[in-house]
Amino acid sequence: MRTATTASPAAFRAGRAKAIRLGDYSIRVRGRTIAALAAILVALAGAVAWTVSTGSFPLAPDRLWAALNGAATPAEEFIVWRIRLPRLATALAVGACLGLSGAIFQTLTRNPLGSPDILGLTQGASSGALVAIVFLSGASTTVVAGSAAVGALGAGLVIYLLTRGTDPSGYRLVLIGIGVSAILAGVNGYLLTRSDIIDASRAVFWLTGDLSDRNWDQAATVASVLVVGGIAAAVLARGLEAMRLGEATATGLGVDVGSTRVAALITASVLAAGGVAVSGPLAFVALAAPHIAARLTRSGRSFIGAMLVGALLVTAADAAAVSGIGERQLPTGVVTGVVGGVYLMWLLVIHRKKGVMS
């Protein structure tokens, strides 16, 4: 039944978004999003403090402060400036890259499973790294990382070529990605059987994903990938958001759907490649971060939220890995894998109860 209406600005404002306007310019913000982002930042600050102060050489807050200000012993300064801070910076940048990459892929495929892990980019990076480790025995970390990046981008290119000019629905992208992923898993298994025992153990360690012994150069490389990818994502965000209404509706609204899709695929692939190349495949970060961010902000999209949650997940997982079980440190990927796996199962249980999955 229709009801008589008066133009009711109050009812309209129930959309909860507010605009901040300055002359011709305006941005739109939601209180809930701001509050959620602030909470994530607080948690992130806690994880950062935990990371730099714990480990096999615990630092009390005053010693940490002294080390940061260059007033501590050489040993303390070495630990903070040469070991923990580069590792922390790498963890933050890798997590942000993976979270943002996952958020773009999920928006693009309109599928909650759309992530570089499922689409085959992570497997591609693994293939690249394995080729370097196995065939260039004793290859430097830089060469392995470069080869991994090439592998991830190669997988992205294959997916693009296979989905180009066909029905561009999200399902097709995901199914082709799963196929590419399966083929590359076979290739990776083959490469492992070809390797000698030293290379094989190095390969397996790489395949688990780890952040130990990272230096400032690696942190700077991932950070620059993050900056470039972040700017591209900011430019693409509005178009991608419109594409969530379907390709046809987005076209009607004036989105150049074809070029937005290609640009988003490139951006997400570069971000995933940059992150995975340096850290190895940190399982589930790219998949889980956007879901957690969406749940916290209660809006389907939040690229910034996904970046922050990704950074939080990797930093916290790395801190937990360093703390280890008993005396033994764990590879970071073991922690993200366990935590992410549990989260995914929890999400699926919730999904079954509520019948929705954002």
Partner 1 sequence: MTGPSYSSASVAEGPNRGPAGATEGAPSPLFAEDATLGYGRVAISEGLTVEVPEGEFTVIIGPNACGKSTLLKALARMLKPAAGRVVLDGKDIHSQPTRAVARRLGLLPQSPIAPDGITVADLVARGRYPHQGILKQWSAEDERVVGEAMEATDVTDLASRGVDELSGGQRQRVWIAMVLAQQTPLLLLDEPTTYLDITHQMEVLDLCGKLHRSGRTLVAVLHDLNQAARYATHLIAMRDGAVVAEGAPAEIVTAEAVEKVFDLPCRIIEDPETATPLVIPRA
Stretch that binds partner 1, among 1-9, 60-68, 149-157, 329-337 (CB under 8 A): 1-9
Residue number, 86 or 305, with CB nearest to partner 1 = 305
Q: Using the rule CB under 8 A, is 24 a contact of partner 1?
A: yes
Residue count, binding to partner 1 (CB under 8 A)? 43
Report the residue number, 323 or 358, with the smaller CB distance to partner 1: 358
Q: Which x/- pattern over 213-242 shows residues binding partner 1 (rule: CB under 8 A)?
A: ---------------------xx-xx--xx
Name, in order, each residue with C-beta under 8 angstroms of 149's C-beta and a sequence gap of 6 or more: 125, 128, 273, 274, 276, 277
DSSP-based three-state secondary structure for 159: helix
Q: What mask of x and - would describe binding to partner 1 in positions 339 to 358, judged by CB under 8 A?
A: -----------------xxx
d(CA 310, CA 317): 10
| Bridge partners, 19 (sequence order) | 28
Nearest-angstrom CA–CA distance, 257 and 239: 8
Of positions 8, 61, 70, 138, contacts partner 1 by CB under 8 A: 8
* Residue 163 C-beta: closest distance to partner 1, Å: 15
For position 31 contacting partner 1 by CB under 8 A, the verdict is no
Interface with partner 1, residue 21, by CB under 8 A: yes
Whole-angstrom distance, CA of residue 169 vs CA of residue 163? 9
Q: Which residues lie closer than 8 Å to 302 by C-beta, 6 or more apart? A: 33, 36, 37, 103, 290, 293, 294
Q: Which is nearer to partner 1, 82 or 298 (CB)?
A: 298
Which residues contribute to the site for partner 1 (CB under 8 A)? 2-3, 5-9, 11-15, 17, 19, 21, 24-28, 110, 234-235, 237-238, 241-242, 244-246, 248-249, 251-256, 298, 300, 356-358
